[in-house]
Structure 1
Amino acid sequence: MTTQQQQTWPLARATPDKVAQLRQQCRQLVKRRALLSAGVAAIPVPGLDVVSDLHLFTRLIDDINQAFGLTPAQIEGLQPEYRMLAYEAAVGVGGMLVGKLITRELLVPLLQRSGVKLVARQAGKLVPLAGQLASAGIGFAVFRHIGNQHVEACAAVAQQLVTAGAGRP
């Protein structure tokens, strides 16, 4: 691997412990963003939370991919065998957002899987105060759950790449 490629993948000389540490840092990032999402969900304006969640979640996925060295550009910087390993590992762990350019078209179906919770969240806004609190709680739980799933998928892919020796000369 060339020096430029090693600089492209941030975990070039990482250990399994570094991957675990990065996993914990990303889970904290998910928690902070989920709290922000919950705060917006508590505002009694229908639709505001959905728009906010799409924006927050897009940035979150990009940030997590970047931290683990799994953006499309970073993966392209890997040697071909490690690139294939990264994509195979992502498919194997069900990480549909690992190594992908995040678009609205990718996120909407993912958020729609939690459709019942989103409908309950919107309906909750019609009931003053208690509905807003319920909406915020549901929003926090959904956002955190989906975000943590992505962190786990990225950590599993990065762990496989570290174990395989990606980034080492």
Structure 2
Amino acid sequence: MIETREELDEIRKTCRTMVTKSSSLSAGTAIIPIPGLDIGSDVAILLRLIPKINEKFGLTPEQIESLDTESKVMVMTAISNVGSKMAGKYITKKLVVSLLQKMGVKVAAKGATKFVPFIGSAVAGGISFTAMKYMGNSHIDDCYEIALAAMENDLPANATEPMFEPKPSELD
């Protein structure tokens, strides 16, 4: 389990880098004028990316299941409060397609622009990059909130920072 805000911030930073790389890959695929290639690619990218983000934050179903009962309840409550559709869940193709459909306007616009010579492919790539970045960063924000809530609920009621063991040199 994540113990400090600094550790949580570092995980968020690492995940944002992963999202940017995945968004670039999505944009690169979107500029290829083959119908359906970009949607299939986006599904494949998200099927890899979302579980990696969940894992970094300790929010895969297996990680949650391995927690003690009290911690598990705290995490599941935090997931429910945040309203995340992807944290703590098995990420399936059906779930990813459903999320992409909710972004339908951007996806439809991306598909239509591909057939405008030259400029259309660039626009499709830009839309794809932006949509993928939005979805990934939104998920990171949800996971961050969930992990922060779980971390803060794990503290004693009067504590404001995580408790650390004193170093032997501090005991002298």
Give the TM-score, by structure 2 length: 0.87
What's the counterpart of residue 27 of structure 1?
A: 16
2:49 match: 60
Runs of 5+ unmatched residues, structure 1: 1-8
Amino acid at match of 1:109: S
Alignment match of 1:108 (pick from 66, 90, 97): 97
Q: 2:15 corresponds to which letter in structure 1?
A: C
Alignment identity in percent?
A: 40
Runs of 4+ in 1 over 3 A off after TM superposition: none
Give the Cα separation in 2 of the matches to 1:146 and 1:107: 10
Alpha-carbon distance in structure 2 between the residues aligned to 1:92 and 1:164? 13
What is residue 74 of structure 2 aligned with on the other side? 85
| Post-superposition CA distance 1:76-121 (Å, at most 9, x none) | 0111111111111112112110010000111111111111111111
- List aligned pairs for 1:20-169, cutoff 5 A: 20-165=9-154
The CA RMSD over aligned residues, in Å, is 1.4
Structure 2 gap ranges (5+): 156-162, 164-172
1 CA distance for matches of 2:80 and 2:16?
21
- Give the deviation of 1:123 after TM superposition: 0.7
In 2, Cα distance between the equivalents of 1:120 and 1:38? 14
Q: Is the 8 A contact 1:16 1:163 kept in 2?
A: no
Q: Which structure has more RCO (C-alpha within 8 Å, separation ≥ 6)?
A: 1
1:164 to partner: Cα distance: 2.5
Report what 2:169 is aligned to.
Answer: none
Q: How many residues align?
A: 156
